[in-house]
Structure 1
Amino acid sequence: MNYYFALLLLMISIGLTLFGAYFIYTFYKQKKLQNILAQPIRKEYIDILDNIPLYGRLNEKEKQQIYKSILIFINTKEFVGINIGVTEEMKIVIAFHACLLLLHVELVSCYENLATVLIYPHTMVAKQVSANGGIYTKGEFFLEGQSASDTVIVAWHDAKKDAYHLHENNVMLHEFAHEIDFLDGSADGTPPLPYSKYHEWAKVLSQEFNKLSKVALRNRDWGKYKLIGSYAATNEAEFFAVVTERYFEKSEALKKHFPELFKELNSFYKVYI
């Protein structure tokens, strides 16, 4: 009897300790967020944002909302420069594109699982070893960015060009789309969605991915799939990241040529509603 009573007391003690630790963690986390959001608006940040075309598309309410998200992002993530000094411009530009993706999405705010943003000055040259029929070959490929569950890598030369000049590609939108894809535990081209939306999302994106893959395999008669490009045919995760770029950068063209795909992306990002 005494043994079970002691065990019960121990379990209660452990439970109270864990609850207390969680309460303290939550309290200080909320306090930190309050202090971050209490910071006055900095003109130098607004000047940087005003030069970004995608920022110019936002209304005043959205600009105020994303500014708060940017503050949280730059104050809760570690920015590390690799052979380059990290500037406020780098932080603001990268944070803006990350937060733009989640501006109208009811998900975990500001990428809670993301800890570090690594910034390289230029496109990285990576080594790759591949096997085909028992024959191993070495090669090099170029990386403008890369992402994992807790780290994003960005080549600043490419990111800066993408930020200030709208075109089809945007390395920051691409890599942070991967981060969103990771949120449900796997990089499969499907972000966290309400259960009722999974079927239609999977149906539409799988159909377009499969069609693109066939075109890319033939490497001819690209037609409308030229808008998406061959890299999106790599796998479903890359397809999602690439069409996310097109959704923000080439929305009208995407809507015209891929209305069902645009509809699914818009049901998630909710930018054009």
Structure 2
Amino acid sequence: MTAGGDLLRVEALEAVYGDGVRALSRVDLTVREGEIVALAGSNGAGKTTLLRAVSHLLPASGGRIVAGRVSYAGRDVTRTRTDALVRDGLVGVLEGRHCFRSLSVEENMVAGGLGRGSGRSDLRADLQRIYALFPRLAQKRGLPAGLVSGGEQQMTAIGRALMGRPRLLVLDEPSMGLAPKVTDEIYAILVGLNRAEGLTLLVAEQNVALALRHAHRCVVLETGRSVLEGPARALRARDDIRRLYLGQGPEPRAADGALAAAGY
């Protein structure tokens, strides 16, 4: 898929929690239409905070933006209601396989479509599309979401988001706690949607090797700062990335690129 113009822009973003605990410090990020962009970094690097800011969910978790700007499709995210962003195609999948556990798998899907404002005919068409993508969910459609496996719960959360017909799908740690086979299945579906339909993806991953394998570009966060950005293929070949994040490569050298210059 050839990337188009900028769909999401994060500029010099700073965010805090509570009485001033700093979570992000001048983070920059651009996602172009049709791209898969990975947001990589260790636990606590600021990935979840950044995705919350992008989706205008930061205030709900006790955080706030204190500087910088987030814009989606030319709109100031901080001045746009979250439900309006969803209807405009910015749809998120939160960390932790969030489902309505007492509702059936299919009722979860319908909830995603209703959030977009879909009518009955659109709901029926979109359900068939999701079940074609995730055949397991078709088999479990009548079960409470809280009773299906962890992988099926993650598929339910992603399917519910896709029912909203997103233009930009934001996913927070979609591989967390899942078996490698299930993770590969989910990523194959997401990458397939990107290639076939141009779905734009912003994916936060602690598993940097996984992120670099599937993304077009990658932004690396460390302690709330964006310290490195570039094409995923180029980053995979860097000694500093292989050593620090993939557990590969030679011993550290005095001058080892951008991360060494930044003190990592």
Q: What TM-score results when the alignment is normalised by the length of structure 2? A: 0.31
Between Structure 1 and Structure 2, the one with more helix by share is: 1
Between Structure 1 and Structure 2, the one with more strand by share is: 2
Q: What TM-score results when the alignment is normalised by the length of structure 1? A: 0.30
Larger radius of gyration: 1
